[in-house]
Amino acid sequence: MRVLSGIQPTGKIHWGNYFGAIRQYIELQNHPAALYFIADLHALTTVRNPADLQANVTNAALDLLALGLDPAKATLYVQSDVPEVTELTWLLMTVTQMHLLEKCHAYKDKKAKGIAADAGLFTYPVLMAADILLYDSNLVPVGQDQIQHIEVTRDVGQRFNTIYEKEVFVLPEPYVVQSLAKVPGLDGEKMSKSYNNTIEVFMEPKQLRRKIMSIKTDSKGMEEVKDPETCSVFTLYKLFANEEQQAALAEKYRAGGMGYGEAKQALYDSAMEAFGPAFDRRKQLAEDPDTVRDILKEGARKAREKAQEVLQRARDACGLGGR
Ligand code: ADP
Ligand code: TRP
């Protein structure tokens, strides 16, 4: 079974990205022939500064490697290093029905706000379908908001197979952990870059502490009984803590006599414990750009082998080349 997933290099990753998506990707890397890529072609729909894009790609590679993606187990590459994906995008575009793309949320949301969309944003899900179909992927770990794109991928792959009367493409399944679909941010709303309420995965300890101390809570005083279930600090703590630790902190909430400062300190300690080693690894890796470059180069070489095989199948099916 082939696992594949991609991450857009659009800036610093936050706890929502990690718990909602990246952690699941990395957990699945033990499947043989797992593939992970940095979706720089997708990022072109939002990042329009070349130096920023390049820096973002390097940073995304450092993030994934520091968080445990192991190039000895899984292949890591940059999307644009496998140019076959853009050719497959065109082949798929010719069988993609407009109405499928018109209901996709990134485009629909922009249109609803009266913002003009580029053809790149409109056809974004077709590039994503090509990412997935190009490698005969079976299982695609994603955050909840990406399920719609996997459905488009299945529709488009199926339509190509039907039109050309051949099983050219393998149809993938999404893999989502529903309970992690909405990690709250500093203000209690869904954590997101666009809401300015994020806690980044990689932060200097002082900065992390300051952010955690700024999480919004109700105004209950120290002695008052508190409800862990409605408190963002507790919801975030659950991401890091085992059941025993969760029960112990919940008990303190319910008993009264604990201020929110203490709960925030517990959250800070567990976040430091979880991400501290990755933070140090990332620093070390950042000082060794050649190693990272070699990993991505070797990843692209391996990915291209498979990509060329599948693209050839698709070209043959629709009657391209063959002279
Ligand atoms: P942002 O909303 O900050 O721009 P992205 O849209 O780039 O984040 O998200 C990248 C991935 O991280 C997606 O797969 C998405 O589902 C996941 N993700 C983002 N924010 C959260 C969150 N608050 N809770 C759970 N998953 C999230
Ligand atoms: N669209 C995905 C996101 O924003 C990133 C992505 C691009 C992707 N291509 C993919 C994820 C293929 C899984 C498979 O998170």
Q: Which residues are 5's β-sheet partners?
A: 36
Indicate the top mutation candidate among 4, 7, 45 to test ligand 2's pocket, ranked by most ligand atoms within 8 A of CB: 7
Which CATH entry fits the domain spanning 2-182+289-318: 3.40.50.300, 3.60.70.12, 3.30.420.480, 3.40.50.620? 3.40.50.620
On the question of pLDDT at 243 being above 90, the answer is yes
> Domain ranges in the chain?
2-182+289-318, 203-283
What are 38-68's pLDDT values in tens digits? 999 999 999 999 999 999 999 999 999 999 9
Report which bound ligand comes closest to the CA of 239. 1
Q: Which atom of ligand 1 is nearest to the CA of 182?
A: 24
Distance from Cα 92 to the centre of ligand 2, integer Å:
17
Position 99: which residue type? H
Task: Confirm if 29 and 62 have CB atoms less than 8 A apart.
Answer: no
Give me the active site residues, please.
110, 190, 193
Which of 24, 41, 42 is the best mutation target for the ligand 2 pocket, counting ligand atoms within 8 Å of the beta carbon and taking the most? 42
Distance in Å, CA 146 to ligand 2 centroid: 7
pLDDT tens profile 287-301:
999 999 999 999 999
106 close to ligand 1 (CB < 6 Angstrom): no
Interval 141-160 mean pLDDT: 96
Q: What is the mean pLDDT of residues 117-122?
A: 95
pLDDT digits (tens, 9 = 90+) for 77-118: 999 999 999 999 999 999 999 999 999 998 999 889 998 899
Q: What is the 3-state secondary structure (H, E, C) of the chain?
A: CCEEEEECCCCCCEHHHHHHHHHHHHHHHHCCCCEEEECHHHHCCCCCCHHHHHHHHHHHHHHHHHCCCCCCCCEEEEHHHCCHHHHHHHHHHCCCCHHHHHCCHHHHHHHHCCCCCCHHHHCHHHHHHHHHHCCCCCEEECCHHHHHHHHHHHHHHHHHHHHCCCCCCCCCEEECCHHHCCCECCCCCECCHHHCCCCECCCCHHHHHHHHHCCCCCCCCCCCCCCHHHCHHHHHHHHHCCHHHHHHHHHHHHHCCCCHHHHHHHHHHHHHHHHHHHHHHHHHHHCCHHHHHHHHHHHHHHHHHHHHHHHHHHHHHHCCCCC
Among 2, 41, 128, which is best to mutate for testing ligand 2, by the most ligand atoms less than 8 A from CB?
128
pLDDT tens track for 163-197 = 999 999 999 999 999 888 899 999 999 999 989 99
Q: Does domain 203-283 have CATH number 3.30.530.20?
A: no
Q: Is 131 in the pocket of ligand 2 (CB under 6 A)?
A: yes
Mean pLDDT of 235-244: 97
Any atom of ligand 1 within 6 Å of the Cβ of 141: no
pLDDT for position 229 = 96
Ligand 2 mean position to 147 CA, how many Å? 10
Ligand 1 atom nearest to CA at 198: 3
Q: Does ligand 2 come within 6 angstroms of the Cβ of 132? A: yes
Give the model's pLDDT for residue 91: 98
User: Is residue 323's pLDDT more than 90?
Assistant: no
pLDDT digits (tens, 9 = 90+) for 253-280: 999 999 999 999 999 999 999 999 999 9
CA of 229 to the centre of ligand 1 (A): 22
Residue corresponding to tokens 């991505």: 296
Q: Which atom of ligand 1 is nearest to the CA of 10?
A: 7
Distance 250 CA to ligand 2 centre (A): 36
Task: Return the pLDDT at 179.
Answer: 83
pLDDT of the residue at 322: 80
